[in-house]
Structure 1
Amino acid sequence: MFNLVILLQSLASAGLRDAFSCPLSIPLSCSNSTPVADSCCFEYPNGAILQTQFWDYSPATGPDDLFTLHGLWPDTCSGGYNQYCNPSWEISGSDSVSSVLTSFGETDLLTTMQRVWKNLGGDDESLWLHEYNKHGTCMNTLSPSCYSSYTQYENAKDFFKIAVATYNKLPTYEWLKAAGITPSTTQTYTKLQIEAALTKNYGHSVYISCDSSNALNEVWYFYHVQGSIMNQNFVSIDSLNTSGCSASGIKFLPKTSSASTKTTGTTTTKTTTGATTTGTASSSTGFVTLTGNSGCLISNGKWYTTGTCATFTLEAAGSGYRLKTSKGYCSVDTSSGALSCASTITTTTATIFGYDTSSKAISLSGNTAWSAASTASGSAQVLVYAGNSYSVDFQLQFS
């Protein structure tokens, strides 16, 4: 049997307290029979990690085509949980999650959270604070002692980054939509249909929950983790809980009102097959994702699968739209066709894009085709090009 105790003792004696120093030979959480205390390389006793999402339809909360982030929970291996494990780690007093993230320069992360990590009825800040203080303080590999040079609340900042990064890899709404399961006031679905659609994409069974009206309102995904949670080496596992919905007659109700946006103009775009689509577009903020692929565009305009999606602004400009991130405006290079966003790009040099609200596709000169030379994975940031000249084809969708 793997002797985890001896390995961790040797790490400690060598002074290796940083999460990224954990050896690759560390076993998965919940796979060791020997209790391990005060470890920076093994989540114990809360080795089952849950990424949980809400569908709040009344009152409508968050975008109408997005399950919002509920939390990232460290449960015990048997399915129970601990809470408020380390009070000294808590964000308290006059400090807020927003002020903590801003102090670490995590403005993109904060903007993303303001869009996708929503509290039913408002006051998102209180939900964030609750999730970290209750659950984040129970992740032992986020202990201040696990940092080589710890700054107050650095572990809280890492908790929020990891929670959002994990959530971004689990597009529940899109997975259901691909299986023909979409919000409706008349259509109902079976538990088997919903679970099968999510399991097909996730690779393991998931937990779904319904409210008293038998309407879908929550989805949970389960993981084990190898090494420190800061390394995000998550391994999908089957749900440790039995879904709470009825076998049939499950409603997936539309959100009664979507997040308010200001309608400013009409755009006509053309699909790659030549069909023309017209719709009223909005000046608003959102993410840019790639159809059929995981990940999203980050603030420099590149495709990335590990980390926080950038918040893009779709800004009306004459008959089209500019795209803008925290880095600056975006443009497509006239020679290479590569997309980039930077502070050196101005309103006069920014590319004017088309946008169709029906398909949510971003187009260039009427063409919705985009491509890349390779699929983004790990820490790689991959250039995205206008047109389908490269081997990986997709559309860019703003939502």
Structure 2
Amino acid sequence: MTQTAALAPPPARILPTIVFSQFAGTSLWFAGNAVLPELQASLGLQEEALGLLTSSVQLGFILGTLCFAFFALADRMSPRLLFLLCSLLGATANALVLFSATSITGVLLLRGLTGFLLAGIYPVGMKIAASWYSGGLGKAIGYLVGALVLGTAFPHLLRGLGAALPWQTMLLAVSTLAAAGGLLMYLLVPDGPYLTKGATFEVRNMLRVFQVRELRAAAFGYFGHMWELYTLWAFVPFILLSAFPQWPQSQLSAFSFLVIAAGAVGCIGGGYISQRWGSARVAFAQLLLSGVCCILSVWVLQTPLLLLPFLLFWGVVVAGDSPQFSALTARTAPPQLMGTALTVVTSAGFAISVLSIQLTGYLLTTMPAQWVFVLLAVGPLTGLLCMRPLLRR
């Protein structure tokens, strides 16, 4: 490869295709949550079913990231081929829920398998982007995480727009979208000029990466962020239903989409602002604002007039720091262990989200909602305290 070729700008189609494919693939994430009322009716599930469905995807994703890294799948085969296979298999697992709606075990296993396959979509999409973008990777990650946010929210939009449609049709639509995203990635995005082979994953490296003080600061900031993020996303429909019980399902789904999708504004906007302020300051500011939202939820959840604008703002800042934490982890990790660092930090963050989701689901059955979500502030507060070395730097 010549230097001229390496410095040539990517074709105009590359970033939009990667972003759309990421959006399409990650729409599988909350597909089960969007049809929760039907699954509850079919299986006779209680309120804790929301936490179980979300946590099964998170656990599958944790296992998937570790397995994919351990076997270095994205290094042994073309990342775009891996993305295609995981998109097709994930779409199939999501569609098979149609045939398992009479068994909670079957539904949870299929949602866990979907989470496992998402490990070949979200992180692999990042690797594909890195193979095309070097100097502008920070901004590209902002777009990619923004696409993940929109993909996560999309099932709620689909449900809101087509509430009269059978829930089976909605699941099939999400599966079709995910499969189409995988095909477009494979057909339109060849392996990029910056594609490199990563270091072999070794268990002992999981501890070595945390010997770097700045990486510990970035990782623990990310852990605080993950304590809050997916728990809020999972329970947005619950919050809206509690405040507006008279709303039809279509309206609840539409506003759930808006609250979660607002995070794309924070991700993309934060990516641009980080070019001037730096990733650490942007991540700190957004984590601080989302922590304030956790505390204010005690009062706002009892004030329906303020709830919608409050949730939209919370949606922006709760997700907007995510791309910057990824960038900080990559920059502070030892170069030869960057892949291991990103894998370990991401997996641990999702494990923390499982604990938070389960705890929140339990507490909502024992105490008023306004006193539950304030406890999410523990995550941002811990993350802010741990990020101080990055700000001094």
TM-score bracket, normalised by the shorter chain, equals: under 0.3
Query: TM-score, length-normalised on structure 1?
Result: 0.27
Q: RCO (CA 8 Å, sep 6+): is it higher in 1 or 2?
A: 2
More strand by share: 1
Which structure's CA Rg is the greater one?
1
Structure ranking higher in helix proportion: 2
